[in-house]
Amino acid sequence: MIVIVDTCAVIAIFDKRHPSNLQLKELLLTEDNLFIIPSTVVTEACYILNNRFGVKFEISFIKEIIKTNFIFEPVQFEDLARIIELLEKYKDLNLGYCDSAIIAISERFGTNKIITLDRKHFNVVIPKGFDYFDILI
């Protein structure tokens, strides 16, 4: 199963005090899944990890991407039109570039499976080809 990983899930994995920490780690160790981590998530997560916990955590995160089964997926040129469409359609939701990119990438991969703690956005947005996002945690 193809699963997209969102920024807030990454932060919760590195925050041992977060209530979802163990559940997220368990889910990400499931070898049957193909985890896609959008480049926008990497950028946003590195910034937050560095600011909240320090550079050591930022480096650990990047090392984890290299040594795990995460697929680093950059935003493609073709995603930009969809990102603009999402930003305009959901302007009152303040979706933002990163979440819009996550949605565009999930649509390109043909999946509605996502690991996120952000229900504000992903419970509202309807991805192309699906009725809803299947939030796995």
Q: Is the dihedral of CA 87, 93, 96, 98 positive or negative?
A: negative
Which value, to the nearest 10 degrees, does the dihedral of the CA atoms of residues 4, 2, 67, 18 take?
40
Tens digits of residue pLDDT in 13-22: 988 898 998 8
Q: Predicted confidence band at 57 (pLDDT cuts at 50, 70, 90)?
A: very high
Residue 83 has pLDDT above 90, yes or no: yes
C-alpha closest to that of 23 among 124, 133, 115, 106: 115
How much is the pLDDT for 28?
Answer: 80
Which residue would you say has higher pLDDT here, 137 or 9? 9
Domain count along the chain? 1
Please state the rounded mean pLDDT for residues 72-81. 97
DSSP type of residue 107? H
Question: Does residue 25 surpass a pLDDT of 80?
Answer: yes
60-63 own/partner pairs: CB under 8 Å, 24+ apart: 60/14, 61/10, 61/14
CA distance 107 to 102: 9
Q: What is the pTM of this model?
A: 0.92
Structural domain for 54, as ranges: 2-135
CATH number assigned to the domain comprising residue 78: 3.40.50.1010
pLDDT band at 69; cut points 50, 70, 90: confident
At 110, phi and psi to the nearest 5?
70, 40
Yes or no: say if 18 and 51 are a contact pair by the CB < 8 Å rule. no
